[in-house]
């Protein structure tokens, strides 16, 4: 296996970083179904209670996510570190902070009242270079901190 020169490494790192940023933009701005196109055909998405195998399973799940029109979210990715393993493989770990709020009335008003993140965790990603460019082969999301859902306080009488 041949090594990776500095230019190839830089291009691969930037392409993988771009996939991470594109993921956030797609899910936050109403095109979550487009996330599937960031994955290889046999790509895998793994969460704490969800395991999606293949691009079509990923697409189906994110189409449902996209239908949550009352949800306003912002996925903030930081501390992105991409390791290029070969000319065609890379991996990364990044921190993810998720701010999320469901509007009660489904309106489009912004800003939405919010305070602390819904959750904070990290994404463990694997990438492959394909004929269509770099793609996720796997995204594994691990939650480190989670804000429980708020329930309305009981009426005091």
Domain ranges of the chain: 6-146
- Say whether pLDDT at 152 is over 50: no
Confidence band, pLDDT 50/70/90 cuts, at residue 7: very high
Q: Which residue has the tokens 């956030």?
A: 24
Confidence band, pLDDT 50/70/90 cuts, at residue 148: confident
At the top level of CATH, the class of 6-146 is alpha beta
Output the pTM of the full model: 0.86
- Say whether pLDDT at 104 is over 80: no
Q: Helix, strand, or coil here: 54? A: coil
113: which DSSP letter? P
Cα separations in angstroms, 137 against 21, 30, 56, 156: 16, 23, 13, 52
Residues comprising the chain, all counted: 157
Residues 6+ apart with CB under 8 A from 32: 26, 62, 63, 65, 66
Please count the other Cβ atoms lying within 10 Å of the Cβ belonging to residue 58: 22
- Say whether pLDDT at 114 is over 80: no
């Amino acid at each position: 296996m041949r090594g990776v020169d500095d230019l190839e490494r830089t291009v691969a790192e930037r392409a993988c970083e771009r996939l991470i940023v594109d993921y956030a933009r797609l899910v936050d701005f109403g095109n979550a179904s487009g996330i599937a196109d960031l994955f290889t055909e046999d790509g895998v998405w793994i969460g704490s209670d969800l395991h999606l195998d293949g691009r079509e399973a990923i697409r189906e799940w994110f189409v449902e996510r996209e239908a949550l029109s009352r949800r306003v979210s912002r996925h903030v990715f930081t501390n992105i570190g991409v390791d290029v393993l070969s000319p065609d493989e890379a991996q990364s770990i990044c921190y993810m902070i998720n701010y999320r709020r469901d509007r009660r009335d489904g309106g489009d008003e912004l800003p939405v009242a919010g305070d602390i993140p819904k959750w904070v965790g990290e994404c463990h990603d694997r990438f492959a270079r394909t004929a269509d460019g770099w793609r996720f082969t796997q995204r594994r999301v691990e939650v480190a901190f989670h804000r429980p859902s708020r329930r309305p306080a009981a009426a005091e009488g």
